[in-house]
Amino acid sequence: MSDPWWDNAVIYQIYPRSFADSNGDGVGDMPGITSRLEYIADLGADAVWISPFFVSPMKDFGYDVADYRTVDPAFGTNEDFDELLEKAHSLGLKIMIDMVLAHCSDQHPWFIESRKDRTNPKADWFYWLDPKEDGTEPNNWLSFFGGRTWTWDTNRQQYYFHNFLSEQPNLNLSNPHVMDALMDICRFWLDKGVDGFRLDAIHTAKADNDWTDNKSRKRVDGVRPEREFEYQSQDSAQLNQPSIQKLSENLRKLADEYGDRFLMGELDGEDAVAVSKTFTEGTGRLHSTYNFDLLRWDGANVGEVRDIIAGLAENFNDSNSISTAWANHDMARVYDRMALKIDVPDDSREDFAHMLIQLSTSLIGSTCIYQGEELGLDDADRLRRDQLQDPWGIHRYSKTFKGRDTCRTPMTWNSNQPNGGFSGDADVESWLPVDERHIAKGGFEQQGKQGSLFERNKAHLEWRKDQAAFMNNGQIDLLDADDDIIAFNRRADDGDASVLCLFNFSDTTKTVQGVNVQPWSAAFK
């Protein structure tokens, strides 16, 4: 691996509820993850990012934390995590955990105390504002999950602020005691030996007292946003404020004490690239940001993908301070989303899936692969409304939108075991139904099977690690090509190594610089 290890790392994301259930209760857990680490190492990943597993009432399935220092009993114990960490390190895998620092659960002791009255020791650990003269909310801000960002509390006779669910109050990061408490929590996990943090929705953190109304968002005439909050500008007092950088700077000081710990911040904005640069500029902030440009709800056509890559090259060549992904736990499966813009024949679907992983792992910076992406799993869009668990999906359900559960259904492993090998107990229902289409594509079904998508992806990652142009801090030089081709040179920063990377988004063979590129395939020279 390069130095630092994260510069060109392949990071495998695990959604713990849905990865592997070791005790047959229908929910994935820490021992289940530990039992599958050899599989991840065999694929060729460098690191594992685990979505939140802390004590939580699970209103947002772990992203509402009630105790940051304890593994939720649904997932096991702290000792189980210690065993997972030790096993991962013995296999050469780094472990990153998902830290939720912008908000916590309304069941966290901090908030329970804060809401008692206006004079308790934690009264200002959250944002409490008085109503307007007419009793309405302090401003016009909208929540990502629907409705306003304000909830009335009868004890304090005030509104409290939350960017997501009302059960997820935002922490007051302008309070130094709150900042210190969060740094202590991060230190707790660093002392255990975790190798880095994925910082959830860090752009939604609030570290100032500016409550200016949001302006309406500029949009194409006649195009109505699908989600309420998209009517308002994200370049506002609500999101991505300069004051947030106090949090990123404190995190960097802490991480630097440990030498080789990675900070990857999740964020978004109307110009996500420009926002990303504010979080990584200089040497005292985050190492990288998790970029959403390839994670479009409605997919992307070839020209749009090419433009995204051009933007990454223009802004992050040499710095490598970017992390890209086609998929995660918040989006429909990538192959289904991309099919909204690109017509891929059914018999070419696996070639297309393989090419997408080849493309993302050829870009600068680190690459995140979401569980099942390496297997080409379909989006579980056949879920009925009564089967949904995701609060956002339930709130916004429509014929075209079923929320985030469609990508969160359990991983499958063996076709000859109950629940596709996710859980060994045939009498227990998994927390979300297993998609029957996934069973034949299970991880252990494909691992070791010549020609399977898993083995093809594994072979590519093995080849990649031998290419100095990919493994050293470097650049992308985008090349002119046919409309169906994405072409670029991937160069090491010393100029001694270069690979021509070609990706054919069509059903006919193309020739670029004397290299034939098969339909729905990549070629490297």
54-63: pLDDT as tens digits: 999 999 999 9
d(CA 431, CA 398): 22
Q: Is residue 294 part of a domain?
A: no
- Of 389 and 395, which is predicted with more confidence? 389
- Sorting pLDDT into bands at 50, 70 and 90, what band is 235? confident
Bridge partners for 490 per DSSP: 476, 499
Task: Name residues whose C-beta falls within 8 Å of residue 493's C-beta, 6 or more positions apart in sequence.
Answer: 318, 472, 473, 474, 475
Which tens digit of pLDDT belongs to each residue from 456-480? 999 999 999 999 999 887 899 999 9
- Residue 348, in any domain of the structure: no
The CATH number given to whatever domain includes residue 480 is 2.60.40.1180
Tens digit of pLDDT for each residue in 316-331? Answer: 998 889 999 999 999 9
CA–CA gap between residue 90 and residue 86 (Å, rounded): 6
Q: Please report, for residues 81, 272, 374, the alpha-carbon distance to residue 268 in angstroms, rounded to integers and kept in the order given.
A: 30, 5, 25
DSSP 8-state assignment for residue 170? B
pLDDT digits (tens, 9 = 90+) for 238-271: 999 999 999 999 999 999 999 999 999 999 888 8
Amino acid at 254: L
Dmax over CA atoms of the chain, in Å, equals 74
Average pLDDT over residues 391-399: 87
> Is 200 one of the annotated active-site residues of the chain?
yes
Which residues span the domain enclosing 516?
Answer: 474-524
Higher pLDDT, 351 or 402: 351
Task: Count how many domains the chain has.
Answer: 1
Residue 143 included in any domain: no
Within-domain flag for 3: no
| 240 lies in some domain | no
Does 1 have pLDDT greater than 60? no
> For residue 288, is pLDDT > 80?
yes
Report the distance separating Cα 385 and Cα 498, nearest Å. Answer: 50
pLDDT of residue 389: 96
Instruction: Give whole-number Cα distances, 315 to 32, 277, 487, 488, in Å.
Output: 40, 8, 18, 16
Smallest CA-to-CA distance from 196 within 277, 252, 272 is with 252
Pair type for strands 366-370 and 498-504: unpaired
84 neighbors 34 (Cβ within 8 angstroms): yes
504 lies in some domain? yes
In a domain, 492, yes or no: yes
Q: Which residue in 244, 99, 112, 103 sits closest to 185, CA to CA?
A: 99
Position 2 scores a pLDDT of 53
Q: Distance between CA atoms of 194 and 71, rounded to whole angstroms? A: 14
Average pLDDT, the chain: 95
| pLDDT greater than 90 at residue 401 | no
- Active-site position among 133, 191, 221, 257: 257
* Residue 189, pLDDT score: 98
Q: Please give the average per-residue pLDDT across 283-307, as a whole number.
A: 93
110-149 burial, b at 16+ Cβ within 10 Å, e below that, comes to bbeebbeeeeeebbebbbbeeeeeeeebbbbbbbbbeebb
Q: What token pair was written down for 40?
A: 């991840």
Answer yes or no: is pLDDT of 191 > 60: yes
Q: Are 64 and 168 in contact (CB under 8 A)?
A: yes
Report pLDDT for 368. 98
Cα separation, 487 vs 503, whole angstroms: 6
**Contact partners, residue 465, CB within 8 Å, separation at least 6:** 44, 471
Q: Is the pLDDT of residue 495 over 80?
A: no
Supply the pLDDT for residue 83. 98
Catalytic residue among 200, 330, 336, 445: 200
Q: Give me the pLDDT at residue 415, please.
A: 95
Whole-number percent of the chain with pLDDT over 70: 99
Q: How far apart are CA 196 and CA 199, in angstroms?
A: 9
Q: Of 12, 36, 7, 92, whose CA–CA distance to 368 is shortest?
A: 12
On whether residue 509 sits in a domain, the answer given is: yes
Q: Report d(CA 2, CA 4) in Å as an integer.
A: 6
Look at 153-157, 196-200, 424-428 and tell me which has the smallest mean pLDDT: 424-428
pLDDT in tens, 60-116: 999 999 999 999 999 999 999 999 999 999 999 999 999 999 999 999 999 999 999
